[in-house]
Chain A
Amino acid sequence: MNDPTAPAAELVFTRAFEAPRELVFQCMTQPEHLTHFWGPAGTSAPIELITVDARPGGAFETVMINDADGSRYPTRAVFDEIVEPERLVWTETHSGMTVTVSFTDLGGSRTGVEIRQVRVPEAFRSPEAQAGFLTSLDRFAGYLATLTAGPGAEESR
């Protein structure tokens, strides 16, 4: 089943932040911080809808709410690994996608964050996962359409 030679497509994003690693790690794991940035432009992520049970097997749940029409985009995941302040790994239950967040101390109070997303092919083969993933694709497509729809879409703060 788990063919080690099967290539898994990866998506990697990196960013350097002007902040110490401990603080950046806290931001990614504490609802009072996540609420400030988890929802991309044009959405918000209310703190009361964020669950972070930061331990292996613990839940990581968020809801992004479209500011324009109130539509909701919940994401549920389960933590696989928590190594403070170096690494976070969670797997999304609807898509089977595993997200690894690595925090690197760049010195001088700067921190590199790498988001590595791996699709887990086996997980995608369950009908439930497939349906869930499609649903989230549809939602994202609709959500992005609203984001790019009108002027002023980028004035998010």
Chain B
Amino acid sequence: MTVVQDQLDATFTALADPTRRAIVARLARGDATVTELAAPFDLTLPGISKHLKVLERCGLISRTRRAQFRPCHLEAGVLDPAAAWIEDNRRVWTQRFDKLDAHLRDLQGAPNERNDQ
């Protein structure tokens, strides 16, 4: 039970960093080596390794033990609870805002469909 919460927390924290989000986005397109991952960023290999360790620790990525290349692999399933939570949250606020918009129109006597100005 706590494990799930810790996982969600770790996932959110890991993804709070823009570089790590970019790494995850890159890995969503396919496995990549550390060198390939470092290329788009102005980062040293140790720098990128630090980010990879954070992602690895929370289970978002895995690395095969294959020689020096050790391609990184995105464990996309780990993202599911976080993505679901975000999506739920977004839906709630979107629907609230839709209703608030309608309510404000009612309050102000619903001016005839003049949305664009």
Contacts and interface: CB of A to CB of B under 8 A. Distances in A.
A131 interface: yes
A130 B99 contact: no
B42 interface: no
B108 interface: yes
Prevailing SS type, chain A contact patch: mixed
A7 interface: yes
Interface residues of B, number: 37
Contacts, number: 93
Interface stretch (B10-18, B28-36, B44-52, B59-67): B10-18
Contact of A11 (B17, B84, B89, B107): B89
Interface of A: 6-11, 13, 15, 17-19, 23-24, 27, 33, 36-41, 108, 113, 115, 117, 119, 121, 124, 127, 130-131, 133-134, 137, 140-141, 144, 156-157
Interface of B: 1-2, 4-5, 9, 12-13, 15-17, 81, 84-86, 88-108, 115, 117
